[in-house]
Structure 1
Amino acid sequence: MTAPSILTTPFSDVDPFSPDVLEDPLPFQADLRNAGPVVYLRTYDVYAMGRYEQVRAALSDWQTFQSAAGVGLSNFRYEKPWRPPSLLLEADPPHHDAPRAVLSTILGPREIRRLGEAWAADAESLVDDLLSKGTEFDAVADLASSFPLRVFPDAVGIPEEGRKNLLPYGDHVFNAFGPPNELVAKGEPRVAELSASIASQCARDVLTSEGFGAQIWAAADRGDITEEQAPLIVRSLLTAGVDTTVNGLAAVLYAFATNPEQWARLRENPALARTAFDEAVRFESPVQTFFRTTTRDIEVGGTLIPEGKKILMFLGSANRDPRRWENPHAFDLNRDPSGHVGFGFGIHQCIGQHIARLEAATLLDVLARRITSIGISGPTRRHHNNTLRAWQSLPVRVSVE
């Protein structure tokens, strides 16, 4: 990368979606931050932001950095989306307002409290079953994937047979936010099948009568949203509410397995469970990147970005920026991680983040009471995705009371 100057924009020829960077994005992100507040990525003709100050500012300014042109590399001004755009993630006011308001009510504090007791029982049952088979297991397959797929679809109200396609569909959606590389090509043969499967789960007559999905359809009956919007809002829950939580749980389990002193702290003070999850989201940033599109010419950090250009925001880099975080590469329960951008920021901030926190805190509470230590027991494997920082396998060995 070039050094930044007032006259030139620093640039990079590195492909941030290459296998090497997806496997370990930290060196590239450090170079990005050091190069300047804005860096031109010549591979894709986009501008990139890797520092916390600029990323957070862009996330907060939806009027200038719009989502409605797509939060991926594809520009909806000129390219047809491969699926109907998300009414939450890929829309701006005023089209974004009614769907957001409906979900804010449905996913409010009262609903979260109602779920807590049932989810605690589910977590106890899952951990009982797991530990009855031994003290070595895969923390991704046996915990991070199993628990969300056990409780969240129930909360939405989709039937058991519709759940097997949630993770592969989500994987493709998040890959499709990036360039049309081999990761996207790998998922394309199943796109029609997976899309049809997920769409069928969003229909009124398929959903149970008391879940989030039914409440979304009830909002359509009241006229708060349209009947055309209802299934797309249910789809948003199914798309964003599983993969991100799975990888958030994997992140916090990995962080504890590699930082045993922090596990000891959690066991001493179980109230730190929610802090631990947010610190893990900052530390690992399960959602690594999102794009925006400029609505006007704007100067950022000495760089004039033209109207209509794609901006690639590196959330993971912002969450490791030493300009914002002291000792950013440490997972530390002494830290106040609030302010991280792992859930986004501004009006497009993840609307289901409190649900994810509840899932994580519930599972961590059970594990902290049952498990005295957790450590890596074999080779770990990352799962490459154009947007997500994900795990394929995380073998661990635990000690129990």
Structure 2
Amino acid sequence: MAEMDPVAGTAPVSDLDPFSDDYIRSPYPFHQQLREAGPVVFLDKYKVHAVGRYAEVRGILEDAATFCSGAGVGLANFHKDPPWRAPSMVLETDPPDHTRNRAVISRAVSPAALRALRAGFEAEANRLVDSLLDRDSFDAVKDMGEPFPLRVFADAIGLMEDSRQHLIAYGNMVFNGMGPRNKLYDNAMENAEEVAGWVWNACQRKNLSPDGLGIRIFDAVDAGILTDEEGARLVRSFLSAGVDTTANAIANALYCFASNPDQWQALRANPDLSRAAFEEILRFESPFQTFFRTTTREVELAGVTIGADEKIMLSLGSANRDPRQWSEPDRFDISRSTAGHVGFGAGIHGCVGQMIARLELEVVLRALATRVATIEITGEPRHLLHNTLRGFEYLPVRLGS
């Protein structure tokens, strides 16, 4: 619930807790409360402002000069509380450093590089789907969502083969670390030293495959653009969001289609809709639920005055179902125009790995659409309790041919 503050220029005050178990398990009624409370709301529990309407979320994402990422994209303000690891050189930096770093990654993930990956991604997607068709039931998370990116994404980057499961734990640390220091944060950090150590070692030039995307980052080191340490940190930027979000998106896709069989038949009838279907999945069940920005100056937002160096929570999941932007937003429809959704963020800090993720999900959906007649949920799903990401801990599924 929200109460209007009597002082002009201030936001309604709300007792909503976006990191509570109830909110995480079923966020959409809470999103509606957030949107209806006002364009800007003050979350009393965390003493931060929040936005849940599309216009304000999109506007903040596209104004990096006023709403910066360099103070962290989670609840903690790096100007006041040092991060648990060196900040991401893409997600948690601002221009001009961000501009330089983003350009290096963009050269590594060129359209030509992505085209070269397609055949291998398709072969693995087809192999995986064929193996799951033979099973009476399987867990969409552990048996499909996680194994696919752990194979194709890690191979594409050129990571060493051993202990790749640490990538799941590392993403869990990174994204749970964006919330408050609650039980989810503490659980994610249990093996932080071991996991972070493996990831840092995997990002070193000597441990990267000579034909992977990761080693291309070190071209910038050789050119004098980056130091060796910066090169490894930039490779690490790939890994932060390269597995968990894709794994969640795959499981979310199976859930969406199992719950909407008419939409599954529409995709089967036209597998070329696979890319469009993924965009609707990102809008409808956004893997990224929240990000934060920090004001660089006092700013007035939708009539609310917010001071300098203050955190603002952006509810991407809420913005992607805002009826002010989308017709029938709570209906899953792969034929709708999803242009402008914020499932991957927007502006200069839009997800750096989004083109790889789009390729991964496109080939998975196409492999399913050309082989699978029906998708059925065979048991009680369990949603993942997570500070930032939306997905499943367990999703039992049967594929029918």
- Normalising by the smaller structure, the TM-score range is over 0.9
Question: In the aligned structure 1, how far is the partner of 2:58 from the partner of 2:296?
Answer: 17
Percent of residue pairs identical: 50
Say which of 107, 110, 121 aligns to 1:108: 110
Aligned pair 1:252/2:253, yes or no?
Answer: yes
Once the two structures are TM-superposed, the CA of residue 274 in structure 1 deviates from its matched residue by 0.5
Tell me the SS of whatever aligns to 2:252: helix
Q: C-alpha displacement at 1:4, in angstroms? A: 5.3
| Matching of residue 330 in structure 1 with residue 350 in structure 2 | no
CA–CA distance in 2 between the matches of 1:374 and 1:4? Answer: 46
Secondary structure (helix, strand or coil) at the match of 1:228 reads: helix
Q: For the residues of structure 2 that align with 1:251 and 1:222, how far apart are their CA atoms?
A: 41
Q: Is 1:91 paired with 2:93? A: yes
Question: CA offsets per residue over residues 300-324 of structure 1, 9 Å max, x none?
Answer: 1111011111000000000010000
Pairs within 5 Å for 1:362-377: 362-377=363-378
> Bigger CA drift: 389-398 or 1-10?
1-10
Cα displacement string for residues 126-150 of structure 1 (whole angstroms, at most 9, x for unaligned residues): 1222223x24222222211111111
Q: Give unpaired runs (5+ residues) of structure 1.
A: none
2:34 to 23, 27, 32: 32
User: 1:86-137 CA deviation, whole Å, 9 max, x = no partner?
Assistant: 01000000011111001111112111111001111111211222223x2422
Report the CA distance between 1:228 and its aligned residue: 2.1
Residue 293 of structure 1 aligns with an amino acid whose one-letter code is: T
1:146-205 deviation line (CA, Å, top 9, x unaligned): 111110000011111130211011101101100000011112331111111110100111
- Larger mean Cα displacement after TM superposition, 310-319 or 99-108: 99-108
Shift of 1:27: 1.2
What's the CA shift for 1:237? 0.6
Deviations 1:326-357 (A, max 9, x none): 00011101201121001000000012111111
Distance 2:323 2:188 in 1: 36
For 1:352-367, list aligned pairs within 5 A: 352-367=353-368
- Partner SS state of residue 326, structure 2: coil
SS in 2 for 1:299: strand
Q: 2:121 aligns with which of 92, 111, 119?
A: 119
Change (3 A) 1:275 1:4: farther
SS in 2 for 1:304: strand
Residue of structure 2 in register with 1:193 after alignment: 194
Instruction: Decide whether the 8 Å contact of 2:2 with 2:15 is kept in 1.
Output: no
Aligned to 1:161, the other structure's residue is in SS state coil
Q: How many Å separate the matches in 1 of 2:18 and 2:238?
A: 28
TM-score where L is the length of structure 2: 0.97
String of CA shifts for 1:18-45, please: whole Å, max 9, x gaps.
1111111111110000010000001111
CA distance in 1 between counterparts of 2:198 and 2:34 reads 39
Q: Determine the structure 1 residue equivalent to 2:156.
A: 155
User: What SS does structure 1 have at the residue aligned with 2:328?
Assistant: coil
Matched residue SS, 1:96? helix
Aligned runs of 1:264-343 on 2, under 5 Å? 264-343=265-344
The answer to whether the Cα contact below 8 Å between 1:3 and 1:36 also exists between their aligned partners in 2 is: no
For 2:56, the equivalent position in structure 1 comes to: 54
| Comparing 308-317 and 100-109, the one that deviates more | 100-109
Q: Distance in 1 between matches of 2:169 and 2:349?
A: 24
CA distance in 2, matches of 1:113, 1:363: 16
